[in-house]
Amino acid sequence: MSSSAWAGDTAEGLIARGQFSEALPILEAARDAASTAGRHDREVAAVLNNLGTVYDELGRLRDAQSMYERSLALRHDLDEAETRDVARTVNNLGTVYMKLRLFTKAEESLDRAAALEEKLSGGDDLSVTRVWINLGMLYQAEQRWDDAERILRKTLELREITLGPSHRDVAIALNNLGVLLQSRKRFEEAQPLVERALHIWESTIGSAHPWVAAAANNLGVLYVALGRPADAEASFKKALSIAAAVLPAHHPHLASYMSSYAKLLRQLGRKDEARRLEDSAAASRERYRRDNMIGYTVEARQIRR
């Protein structure tokens, strides 16, 4: 059976479109079938990596960590310690460590991924920008503002030159740089970057994608800061509508979007609406916290059943 028929292409297409819940059962079935058959090959490593990506996007961080680590262990057994696939999985694992606030492990993983991408690039740095994006996020989380801005601007410049101004990956750099500038209260600089990211994503990946929801929420936050409450409310409603349709009910992004909108509603004096959103966000965050506590992995869930 070919790799595309076995697992990957259908799930990878769903992942690219942001349909993570739809990709999940396909990849879990492929992983379980490989385990039953005793398979230990590159296709299985790829499935584990893709499953890690889906778990990460669905807010199941410990499950994602487990899949990435298993994928890397299998690659090691296959004597594939220095390949682009390994670099991508190490990069993915670094982002999960970052979200779990394991910053030392995150930086170690991301630095390793960057070094490997640079070694394999042959002078073409585009592939390493995937790691630079995540290093920018890590530096921001650690409040290393200048380092974060430097690496995100470097990423944006290289992607625009190589991919053109309207590529979906250019929008990632635009959005992340906009979020960084917003954190530094440079709202006027941030606004056009996030607006541009939103427009690129809507035209390249469609309006029903989690990235579009993220950009809409980021734009809403900026509009609040810039004194544009009507525009902010429209952006928050858009973010929530998309996120509610494509993300699990207890996803942290959905909780974040509810909180952003609730803050605006309180400013507008609509306290009852704000309180309902705040209560929903709090319940969602508590569920997310429980589901991502140490040791609460796929294997732990199976034992508890």
What pLDDT sits at residue 160? Answer: 97
**Per-residue model confidence (pLDDT) at position 303:** 32
Question: Taking the C-alpha atoms of 82, 84, 90 and 95 in order, what is their torsion angle to the nearest 10 degrees?
Answer: 160
Give the confidence band of 9 by pLDDT, cuts at 50, 70, 90.
low
Assigned domain for 280 exists: yes
Give the range of the structural domain holding residue 17, as residue numbers without chain letter.
Answer: 7-81
Give a yes or no: residue 11 inside a domain: yes
> Considering its fold, how many domains does the chain have in total?
2
Residue 65 lies in a domain: yes
Compute the mean pLDDT over every residue in the chain, rounded to the nearest whole number.
90
Q: What's the confidence (pLDDT) of residue 121?
A: 81
Higher pLDDT, 7 or 32: 32
> Which one of 81, 102, 135 terminates a domain?
81
When pLDDT is averaged across residues 213-236 and rounded to a whole number, the result is: 97
111 Cβ partners below 8 Å, 6+ apart? 135
End position of a domain, from candidates 81, 111, 136: 81
Asked if the structure places residue 135 within a domain, the reply is: no
Does residue 175 sit within a domain?
no
DSSP string, the chain: --HHHHTHHHHHHHHHTT-HHHHHHHHHHHHHHHHHHT--SHHHHHHHHHHHHHHHHTT-HHHHHHHHHHHHHHHHHTT-SSSHHHHHHHHHHHHHHHHTT-HHHHHHHHHHHHHHHHHHHTT-GGGGHHHHHHHHHHHHHTT-HHHHHHHHHHHHHHHHHHH-TT-HHHHHHHHHHHHHHHHTT-HHHHHHHHHHHHHHHHHHT-SSSHHHHHHHHHHHHHHHHTT-HHHHHHHHHHHHHHHHHHS-TT-HHHHHHHHHHHHHHHHTT-HHHHHHHHHHHHHHHHHHHHHTSTT-SHHHHHHH-
Whether the predicted pLDDT of 273 surpasses 50: yes
176 found inside a domain: no
**Residue 292 pLDDT grade (very low, low, confident, very high; cuts 50, 70, 90):** low
- Tell me: pLDDT of 4 over 60: no
Average pLDDT for residues 40-50, to the nearest whole number?
A: 94
How confident is the model over 221-244, as a mean pLDDT? 97
- Give Cβ neighbours of residue 2 (< 8 Å, ≥ 6 apart): none
Rounded mean pLDDT of 180-203? 97
Q: Is the pLDDT of residue 280 over 90?
A: yes
| Per-residue pLDDT band at 59 (split at 50, 70, 90) | confident
Q: Is residue 257 part of a domain?
A: yes
pLDDT computed for residue 151 by the predictor: 97
pTM of the model: 0.85
Whether residue 160 lies inside any domain: the answer is: no
The CATH number of residue 249's host domain is 1.25.40.10
290 token code pair? 């429980």
Q: Mark which of 49, 81, 113 sits at the end of a domain.
A: 81
